[in-house]
Amino acid sequence: MKEENCIFCKIASGEIPSKTIYEDNEFRVILDISPASKGHALIIPKEHYADIYELPEDMAGHAMILAKKLAAHMTAALKCDGFNIVQNNGEVAGQTVFHFHMHLIPRYQEDGNQDKLCWNHLELSQEELEDICEKLQQ
Ligand code: AMP
Ligand code: ZN
């Protein structure tokens, strides 16, 4: 299914042109228009899924396998020194385009970004950690 006003549906279908570096039946991979580094790319499914919650498991598997292959290819081609794979879900998590996508971000020694993606580190008590652990164990 496609969403009428979704820019990534239009890019994935080719209706809006993009700098495509890879394409198959399920995915188009394009260069990000506002990249974090040279080579920053996005894996975009051709079908519309808003986020990881909507994405079917088999597509999630295929997307991860593709990310792994492209990480190797891009690292060799761009001679980058490291690689981030990022995937945001929900506004609070930084998602701005509500069509599932994975960021492939080549990292370079002097790329001007911080070493890691940045977040503050919480100091949680043993009780808090236990409480969270209990909630999550199944
Ligand atoms: P996110 O914040 O995880 O939803 O990521 C959305 C990404 O899409 C951002 O890195 C944008 O720079 C990128 N983006 C938005 N519009 C376009 C576009 N037309 N072509 C390529 N990348 C885009
Ligand atoms: Zn879409």
b/e burial code for range 101-116 (CB count within 10 A of at least 16 → b): bbbbbbbeeeeeeeee
Going by pLDDT thresholds of 50, 70 and 90, the confidence category of residue 36 is very high
H helix or E strand, kind and range, residue 16: none
Q: Give the whole-angstrom CA distance, residue 117 versus residue 84.
A: 9
Residue 24: how many other CB atoms lie within 10 Å: 10
CA 87 to ligand 2 centroid distance, Å: 15
pLDDT at 118: 79
pLDDT at 50: 98
pLDDT tens for each residue of 106-129: 999 988 887 767 788 999 999 999
Query: What 8-state DSSP symbol labels residue 38?
Result: T
Residue 52 has pLDDT above 90, yes or no: yes
CA 17 to ligand 2 centroid distance, Å: 15
Cα-Cα-Cα-Cα dihedral sign, residues 54, 56, 57, 58: negative
pLDDT tens for each residue of 68-114: 999 999 999 999 999 999 999 999 999 999 999 999 999 999 888 87
In this structure, the residues whose C-beta lies within 6 A of any atom of ligand 1 are 7, 18, 30, 32-34, 42, 88, 94-97
Tell me the pTM.
0.95
Work out the mean pLDDT of the chain and round it to a whole number.
95
- What atom of ligand 1 comes closest to residue 88's alpha carbon? 3
